[in-house]
Structure 1
Amino acid sequence: MPATQSIQVTKVALRKSMQKKLTALSQEEKKLQSENVITKLFALPLLQKSKRISVYLSTEDEISTEPILKYIFENKKSCFVPRYSRNDMEMVKLNSMKDWEALPLTKWNIKQPDLSDIRENALEGGGLDLVIVPGVAFTSKGDRLGHGKGFYDTFLTSLEKRQRYAPITVALAFKEQVLNEIPLQQHDVKIDLILYSNNED
């Protein structure tokens, strides 16, 4: 089996095993870990300094990002969220918590702005200072295993080319998602900082 194909097979198996681990976590445990990770995020000067922030809209198997949305709007920062189409992802502006509450659900049960909504695109506006990235698994060194579509790898590569400076990338993880190593390919983009509930403060 060619090396690239072997890595792909390993990634698929890892995604399945990680999904089982996350499904097995109780709601209480997820809530506790989410609160811990969000506290760490809010303590970061880089968050306080950032004015244009991209944040994923979480599912029940991810660190909850609702508190981050509230923080962004309370502090008069600009918020951008993912909007997926079949082969593409863009970051579009979210205007308020009311706007978030009214977003429709996709077939994957994820909130996202409707494709017909006219919204500011982060790449066509002032870019982004901070991108909060989801993922399936991570290492403490910044390696990331995504969901397999390559949306964030492609977006982050495009973003870095479009703006004069590289945005800071932060991933939020349950401790069960942090591994010693994960299989990587050339296109996989490293994350600057991984926050999880039992790493050093």
Structure 2
Amino acid sequence: MTADEKRRTMRALRQSLSPYEQQDAAQKAAQRLSKQSFFRRAKRVAFYMANDGEIDPQALLKVHGNYTKHWFLPRIQNARKTPMRFGHYTGQNALVANRYGILEPNGDTKDDQKAASMDVILLPLVAFDRQGNRLGMGGGYYDKTLHSVPKHASSGPLLIGLAHAIQELDSIYAQSWDMRLDMIITDRELICAKQK
């Protein structure tokens, strides 16, 4: 099966979940992540606005609020090859749909942050495997952005994929530019990626 065929199949699978199943999965994933000490210590967390049946990370905001964390949303730059930047999100920000219909911060970009400044980056995905390979929507935005994080940054952001357990595949062929996840949080478990 090609990557595009896998995308179509896995997107249809997650879209087949009922609204109740979607909400229940998001809350279970949020509870699982909230119990982790690394997440409780994290101060700067990048997340995404769920779209197309993705696990909704906003359940985390309900648990943690703005008191212990600074939340950031990705903002797609004008040029496709330009890394995304992350705009501060308070829950009161005006949001606007980008070219893909995904909500992102509206307004001034001068205070946007780079990926390297985050403690944790929560990534959406279409499918994953236990080696930390992630199949995204195909635009490569996260891969381009994360390649901009200096390789020597041992204290760089922890990359965590959020997924429904049904999105797991036995293996995903990774291209040289694909960035691996450190872990995946599903509605059923926390998976520490087995790096090969």
- Please classify the TM superposition score into its range, dividing by the shorter chain length: 0.7 to 0.9
Task: State the structure with more CA Rg.
Answer: 1
Q: Map of 1:31-180 to 2, 5 A cutoff?
A: 31-71=23-63, 73-85=65-77, 86-87=79-80, 88-99=82-93, 102-114=94-106, 117-123=108-114, 127-161=117-151, 163=153, 165-180=155-170
Q: CA deviation at 1:191?
A: 0.3
8 Å contact kept, 2:96–2:103: yes
8 Å contact kept, 1:80–1:91: no
Q: Which amino acid aligns with 1:38?
A: A
Gaps of 5+ in 1: 1-8
Q: Which amino acid aligns with 2:92?
A: K
Q: Any idea what SS the aligned residue of 2:95 has?
A: coil
Q: Any idea what SS the aligned residue of 1:156 has?
A: helix
Q: Map of 1:7-22 to 2, 5 A cutoff?
A: 10-22=2-14
- After superposition, the Cα gap between the structure-2 partners of 1:36 and 1:95, relative to the gap in structure 1 and judged at 3 Å, is closer
Gaps of 5+ in 2: 192-196
Identity rate, percent? 26
Q: Which amino acid aligns with 1:39?
A: Q
Q: CA deviation at 1:30?
A: 1.1
8 Å contact kept, 1:72–1:78: no
Q: Report the equivalent of 2:16.
A: 24
Q: CA deviation at 1:60?
A: 4.8
Q: Any idea what SS the aligned residue of 2:178 has?
A: coil
Over aligned residue pairs, what C-alpha RMSD do you find? 2.3
8 Å contact kept, 2:74–2:86: yes
Give me the TM-score of the superposition, normalised by structure 2.
Answer: 0.85
CA distance in 2, matches of 1:200, 1:146: 19
Aligned residues: 189
